A and B are shown apart, each in its own frame.
Chain A
Amino acid sequence: MSDLTTQGHDSHAGDGHGHEVAPARPGYSPVADIPHSPRATDTDPRMARRAERQVAAMFVLSMLFVVLFVVAYVAIDKTTIVYIPVMGEVNFSQVALGFTLGAAVFLIGAGAIQWAKKLMPDVEVVQERHDMASPKDDTNLAAANYERGKEESGFARYTIIRRTLIGALALFPIPLIIMLKDLWVPGPLEQGKSPAQILSTTLWRKGSRIVSDGTYLPVKATDLPVGGLISAVPEDLREVEEIEGNLNARGKAAIILVRMQPDQIRSQQGEGWDYQGILAYSKICTHVGCPIALYEQRTHHLLCPCHQSTFDLADAGNVIFGPAARNMPQLPIGVDEEGFLIAMSDFEQPIGPSFWERA
Chain B
Amino acid sequence: MTTTSPIEKVGGGAANYVDQRLGSNKFLGRNLGKVFPDHWSFMLGEIALYSFVVVLLTGVFLTLFYKPSSLEVIYDGSYVPLKGIKMTEAYASSLDLSFDIRGGLLLRQMHHWAALIFVGAIAVHMFRVFFTGAFRKPREFNWIIGVALTTLALGAGFSGYSLPDDLLSGTGLQIARGIMQAIPVVGTWMAFLLFGGEFPGTDFISRLYSVHILLIPGLILALVTVHLMMVWTQKHTQFPGPGRTNDNVVGYPLMPVYMAKAGGFFFIVFGIIALIGGLVTINPIWLFGPFTPDQVSAGSQPDWYIGWLDGALRMMPNIETTTFGYTISWNVLIPAAIIPGIIFTALALYPFLEAWVTGDKREHNLLDRPRNAPTRTGIGVMAITFYSLLWIGGANDIIAITFDLSINSIIWALRILIIVLPPISFVVTRRICLGLQRRDRDKLLHGYESGRILRLPNGEFIEVHQPLNYKEMAVITSKTDVAVMPAPVKTDADGVANKLYLVDKLRHRLSSFFYGENIPLPSAAEIEAGQHHAEHDAAAEAPLAAYEDRDELFNAHGGVLHHPGMPMTNMEQVEQGPAGTSH
Q: For residue A167, which residues in chain B have a CB less than 8 angstroms away from its CB?
A: none
CB distance from B190 to the nearest CB of A (A): 10
Rounded to whole angstroms, the CA-CA distance of A287 and B320 in the bound complex is 10
- B162 in the interface, Cβ–Cβ < 8 Å? no
Q: For residue B265, which residues in chain A have a CB less than 8 angstroms away from its CB?
A: 109, 113
Whether B242 contacts A25 by the Cβ 8 Å rule is no
Stretch in contact with the other chain, from B213-221, B253-261, B377-385, B552-560: B253-261
Stretch in contact with the other chain, from A138-146, A150-158, A316-324, A332-340: A316-324
Q: Which residues of B in the span 1-19 have a Cβ within 8 Å of any Cβ on A? A: 1-2, 4, 8, 11-12, 15-16
Q: For residue A196, which residues in chain B have a CB less than 8 angstroms away from its CB?
A: 188
Closest partner residue, chain B, to A292 (CB atom):
B296
Closest partner residue, chain A, to B407 (CB atom):
A308
Partner of B249, one of A102, A111, A127: A127
Rounded to whole angstroms, the CA-CA distance of A246 and B325 in the bound complex is 31
CB distance from A145 to the nearest CB of B (A): 22
Binding site for B on A (CB under 8 A): 1-2, 4-9, 11, 25, 27-29, 31-35, 73, 78-79, 87, 91, 93-95, 97-99, 101-113, 115-116, 120-122, 124-129, 131-132, 180-181, 183-187, 190, 195-196, 198-199, 213, 231, 233, 245-248, 250-252, 254, 283-284, 287-294, 305-309, 319, 321-326, 352-359
Whether A180 contacts B193 by the Cβ 8 Å rule is yes
Closest partner residue, chain A, to B321 (CB atom):
A325
Q: List 18 A-B contacts (CB under 8 A).
A: A34-B241, A34-B243, A35-B471, A94-B103, A98-B279, A99-B275, A101-B274, A108-B267, A110-B267, A125-B251, A126-B250, A129-B248, A185-B197, A246-B200, A291-B296, A353-B329, A354-B327, A356-B187
CB 8 Å contact bits of B315-344 with A (1 = contact, 0 = none): 111111010011111011001000000000
Q: For residue A102, which residues in chain B have a CB less than 8 angstroms away from its CB?
A: 271-278
- B41 in the interface, Cβ–Cβ < 8 Å? no
Rounded to whole angstroms, the CA-CA distance of A325 and B333 in the bound complex is 12
- Contact A305 to B331, CB < 8 A, known contacts A94-B105, A111-B264: no
- B350 in the interface, Cβ–Cβ < 8 Å? no
Q: For residue B187, which residues in chain A have a CB less than 8 angstroms away from its CB?
A: 355-356
Whether B102 contacts A250 by the Cβ 8 Å rule is no
Rounded to whole angstroms, the CA-CA distance of A353 and B233 in the bound complex is 50
- Contact A307 to B313, CB < 8 A, known contacts A120-B256, A180-B193, A357-B326: yes
Rounded to whole angstroms, the CA-CA distance of A145 and B269 in the bound complex is 48
- B448 in the interface, Cβ–Cβ < 8 Å? no
Rounded to whole angstroms, the CA-CA distance of A72 and B199 in the bound complex is 44
Partner of B178, one of A91, A250, A289: A289
CB distance from A285 to the nearest CB of B (A): 8
Whether B188 contacts A101 by the Cβ 8 Å rule is no
CB distance from A271 to the nearest CB of B (A): 24
Closest partner residue, chain B, to A5 (CB atom):
B8
| B32, B106, B184, B363 pick with most chain A CB within 10 angstroms | B106
Q: How large is the interface on B (under 10, 10 to 19, 20 to 34, 35 or more residues)?
A: 35 or more
Partner of A98, one of B181, B241, B277, B411: B277
CB distance from A58 to the nearest CB of B (A): 10
Stretch in contact with the other chain, from B297-305, B368-376, B524-532: B297-305
- B465 in the interface, Cβ–Cβ < 8 Å? no
Whether A126 contacts B249 by the Cβ 8 Å rule is yes
Q: For residue A287, which residues in chain B have a CB less than 8 angstroms away from its CB?
A: 178, 313, 318, 331-332
Stretch in contact with the other chain, from B169-177, B420-428, B495-503, B533-541: B169-177
Whether A126 contacts B181 by the Cβ 8 Å rule is no
- B456 in the interface, Cβ–Cβ < 8 Å? no
CB distance from A253 to the nearest CB of B (A): 8
Since A103-B271, A290-B178 are in contact, a sample of 8 more A-B pairs with Cβ atoms closer than 8 Å, ordered by chain A residue number, is A2-B12, A102-B278, A106-B275, A109-B267, A128-B249, A129-B249, A195-B189, A321-B411
- B549 in the interface, Cβ–Cβ < 8 Å? no
CB 8 Å contact bits of B333-371 with A (1 = contact, 0 = none): 001000000000000000000000000000101000000
Closest partner residue, chain A, to B16 (CB atom):
A1
- B396 in the interface, Cβ–Cβ < 8 Å? yes
- Contact A325 to B319, CB < 8 A, known contacts A33-B242, A199-B188: yes
- Contact A195 to B329, CB < 8 A, known contacts A251-B293, A290-B296, A308-B314: no
Q: For residue A2, which residues in chain B have a CB less than 8 angstroms away from its CB?
A: 1, 4, 8, 12
Closest partner residue, chain B, to A123 (CB atom):
B252
Whether B300 contacts A305 by the Cβ 8 Å rule is yes
CB distance from A3 to the nearest CB of B (A): 8
| B1, B202, B256, B317 pick with most chain A CB within 10 angstroms | B256
Whether A185 contacts B196 by the Cβ 8 Å rule is yes
- B479 in the interface, Cβ–Cβ < 8 Å? no
Whether A250 contacts B294 by the Cβ 8 Å rule is yes
